Structure 1
Amino acid sequence: MMTKLFRRCLAGALTGAVLTAAAAQPAAAGKISIGHTIWVGYGPLYLAKELGFFKENGVDVDFQVVDDSALAMAAQAAGKLDGTATTLDEILKYRSDSFCFKAVALFDESHGGDGMVSLKEINSLADLKGKTVALNEGSTSQFWFSYLLKKQGIPLKDVEVLNMSADAAAAAFIAGQVPVAVTWEPNLTLVKTKNVGKVLTDSAATPGVIVDVLEISCSVLKDRPADVKGFVAGLQKAVDYIKTNPDKAYEIMAKGVGGYLKEPKDFADAASGVKFYDKAMTIDYLGTPDKPGKVTEVIALGNEIWTDLGKIKKPIEYKDVIDASFTQ
């Protein structure tokens, strides 16, 4: 199986050791620095850069690939990055009075890229009661799994969670060591290919729940709003380009993102499991402070799930983590 970096693996608290690991430096006026892991949804960053969409909107960019989103968030908290590309549910755990940031744009939503694999005799979520489920605790995988259980009224205590990475969970399932695993592509396809089980459900059944966002530090939003506006405009133009020139877009994005997605075919395959958000979709999802969109449902879910799991202590509100004005 290909070695890859994951956007959803969380390292835990923002420690001093993590802060010193970040190589990026604060961006000056006219430049935006963003940290991200290797993920298909972040391809538009490199597409907009390569095609000059950021530059034509008056902003230079610097992207830093990091091992996991916790490292990027730590670097941002230390003032070494302006923002981070990660999932909406993840940012809820980091927002505090001392670490202020807000999501200003959307990248994509998982639409079949995440899923749960199980033995063939398991036919529903209700059948998971008493079963061992391998997943990455503290990650989006756990958030999504907890969400699925809540929808069915199944207490988390009714299943036994075995903590391991998404790759390890898939490998354990394929080896017959666990009956259920929460993972993502290409592991879902691998399970189908090996015919060792089935995909019980995937994120196509939960639209708008696993969403990647661009969040920016509040100090940058306040002091350099023109840079942020230009960045968001360039990003949205890149998404429009994907619609009309997918093959060329995949080629450029594969080269930029690199890693396990460095080949255009691999990138295109991965892209089939996500939906890129254009401007209209972003406006609809984020809404406004007076009339917020679906994002409020995920924020509410995040508050409930992460509080239950001991990951957040103070409820997060729309106004704490969302600034839709740069898209509007």
Structure 2
Amino acid sequence: MLNTFFRRHVAGALCGTVLAALASQAAFAGKISIGHTIWVGYGPLYLAKELGYFKENGVDVEFQVVDDSALAMAAQAAGKLSGTATTIDEILKYRSDKFCFKAVGVFDESHGGDGMVTTSAINSLDDLKGKTVAMNEGSTSQFWFSYLLKKKAIPLKEIEVLNMSADAAAAAFIAGQVPAAVTWEPNLTLVRTKNVGKVLTSSADTPGVIVDVLELSCSVIEKQPKDVKGFLDALYKAVDYMKANPEKANAIMAKGVGGYLKDPKDFADAAAGVKFYDKPMTIDYLGTKEKPGPIADVIKLGNEIWSDLGKMKSTVTYDQVVDSGHLK
């Protein structure tokens, strides 16, 4: 079944009704409220809540599913949320002097969950020149696709991008309307099972590039340091539990995340396409101000790619979007 929910980021206008629904859920001292799309990588949030780990650490939490990460970012900017769970490339486009936030933790990295499907006639990125590729413009899909082209020194102008959601892109490809599409699971598996094409490349070939992070408003980080540390301790305790008890954890996380992942089997299948980060992995990936981790390379890439695509007006630095101090 095609994923009928938006994942991570969907280009479009802000929805006033969603923001209105969040208006009564403003972030305040003692509580941490997080907005997120429906994505397997955010399962540990619900696992930590169900197992009582947040309560153990004295943190009152609230999670709000918002179909479009741009909506969650807007709610956060208005003070209605403490933070947002989304990809590192995504948050770069919103950081400014007026909207201060930083990544304090890492959830997961896509490890085969995202990919590009093509017809049998296309065997390399070079074969895409002059052809149409369906994808969601301005989203992580376009960021990842642009990264692939950049590695091969292929100008984006040599590709005709057809803007549509990742699910619509997969549907268009399966229907034979486009020769290539950038999408994600379960669409990649659907293409394989229907034998209508192939997965030319996936995020398994680009480790550490599509990474979901937890970012919090600077005011929350400054005024609620105990809550932030407690939140992260609970989150990574849940990840450790998940790795030791995958079947039990999947059942809890599927119920919490819901949507197209509400069936534990579907959740487990989706989880196979990501790599969940525990605390040591997160510390290594974020690094420190003195010695930035691999996230610094993605920030650099994001600056370059989004600037080239006209999605960013100013450069964002590592110090502006990363704070790993609460992990120690």
Fold agreement, TM-score > 0.5: yes
Q: How many pairs were matched up?
A: 328
Deviation of 1:13 (Å): 7.0
Counterpart position of 2:102: 102
Matched to 1:272, the amino acid is A
Distance 2:24 2:112 in 1: 33
Q: Distance in 2 between matches of 1:270 and 1:212?
A: 15
Q: Aligned residue for 1:228?
A: 228
1:82·1:217 contact (CA, 8 Å) conserved in 2?
yes
RMSD, aligned α-carbons: 1.4
Task: Specify the alignment match of 1:277 in structure 2.
Answer: 277
SS in 2 for 1:62: strand
Mapping of residues 289-304 of structure 1, within 5 Å = 289-304=289-304
Under a length normalisation based on structure 1, what TM-score does the superposition of the two structures give? 0.97
Question: In the TM superposition, what whole-angstrom CA distance separates every residue of 1:136-168 from its partner, at most 9, and x where no partner exists?
Answer: 000000000000000000000011000000000
Off by >6 Å, runs of 4+ in structure 1: 13-18
Provide structure 1 residue ranges, at least 5 long, that are not aligned to the other structure: none
| Matched AA of 2:146 | S
Once residues 290 and 24 of structure 1 are traced to their aligned partners in structure 2, the CA distance between those partners, rounded to angstroms, is 40
Amino acid of the structure 2 residue aligned with 1:90? E
Please say which of residues 241-250 and 18-27 is displaced more in the overlay: 18-27
Instruction: Give the equivalent residue in structure 2 for 1:317.
Output: 317
Deviation for aligned residue 1:10:
3.3
For 2:100 and 2:93, the matched residues in 1 are separated by 12
Partner of 1:192: 192
Instruction: Report the 3-state secondary structure (helix = DSSP H, G, I; strand = E; otherwise coil) of the residue aligned with 1:313.
Output: coil
- Give the 3 Å change call, closer, same or farther, for CA 295–168 of structure 1 in structure 2: same
Cross-structure match for 1:305: 305
| 8 Å contact kept, 2:135–2:169 | yes
- State the secondary structure of the residue aligned to 1:34: strand
- Please name the residue that 2:205 is paired with: 205
SS state at 2:199 partner = strand
Tell me if the contact between 1:11 and 1:71 (Cα under 8 Å) persists in the aligned partners: no
Give the AA of the match of 2:201. Answer: T
Change beyond 3 A, Cα 1:278–1:258: same
C-alpha offsets along residues 179-200 of structure 1, whole Å, 9 cap, x if unaligned?
A: 0000000000000000000000
Give the direction of change, closer, same or farther, for the CA distance of 1:145–1:277 in structure 2 (3 Å limit): same
Alignment of 1:1-328 (within 5 A): 1-11=1-11, 19-20=19-20, 22-23=22-23, 25-328=25-328
- Tell me the CA shift for residue 281 of structure 1: 0.6
Deviations 1:210-256 (A, max 9, x none): 00000000001111110011001100111111110000000000000
Does structure 2 retain, via aligned residues, the 8 Å contact 1:24–1:81? no
Rounded Cα–Cα distance in structure 2 between residues aligned with 1:196 and 1:3:
18
